């Protein structure tokens, strides 16, 4: 890992009749537009969906690093995030993120350890730690071959 501070650069551009083009060195460009809730087309990534995706992505990447360091064997992790956008004191802001994670592990796995590591990933996610909205995790561990 590099020393801090890290700097992440994104350039955004648009014409009056186009979607927003997002670019960052070394990665593919993506398009963004307003969500349907704000009068946009609703068929592109929006700043709102990108933020919620960042929470989900960061949670999984945090878990991968923690599981590797803790030598936890696992086979799959899914994560669904719902971001609540509301008005607080006349300011529109995200007020909460609900994270629903399902972890699949081999049958020899200590389930309580796996759950602790999921909770640690939620607490250490730099994206949610950087936001003023609360972040809450609802996690599930599934043992391979066991019915839910």
82-99 burial, b for 16+ CB within 10 Å, e for fewer?
A: ebebeeeeeeeebeebeb
Q: How confident is the model at residue 15 (pLDDT cuts 50, 70, 90)?
A: very high
Q: How far apart are CA 102 and CA 138, in angstroms?
A: 9
Which tens digit of pLDDT belongs to each residue from 68-103?
A: 999 999 999 999 999 999 999 999 999 999 999 999
User: Domains in the chain, please, with CATH?
Assistant: 47-143 (3.30.300.20)
The closest alpha carbon to 83, from 36, 48, 122, belongs to: 48
- Give the torsion sign (CA, 101, 65, 113, 116): negative
């Amino acid at each position: 890992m590099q020393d801090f501070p890290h700097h992440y650069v994104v350039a955004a551009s648009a014409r009056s009749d186009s979607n927003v083009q997002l670019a960052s060195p070394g990665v593919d460009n993506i398009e963004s537009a307003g969500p349907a809730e704000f009068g946009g087309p609703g068929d592109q990534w929006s700043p709102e969906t990108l933020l919620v995706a960042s929470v989900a992505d960061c949670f999984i990447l945090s878990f991968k690093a923690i599981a590797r360091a803790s030598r936890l064997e696992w086979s799959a992790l899914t994560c669904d995030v719902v971001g609540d956008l509301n008005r607080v004191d006349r300011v529109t802001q995200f007020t909460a993120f609900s994270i629903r994670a399902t972890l699949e592990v081999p049958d020899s796995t200590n389930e309580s350890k796996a759950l602790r590591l999921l909770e640690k990933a939620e607490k250490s996610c730099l994206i949610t730690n950087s936001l003023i909205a609360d972040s809450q995790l609802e996690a599930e561990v599934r043992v391979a071959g066991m019915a839910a």
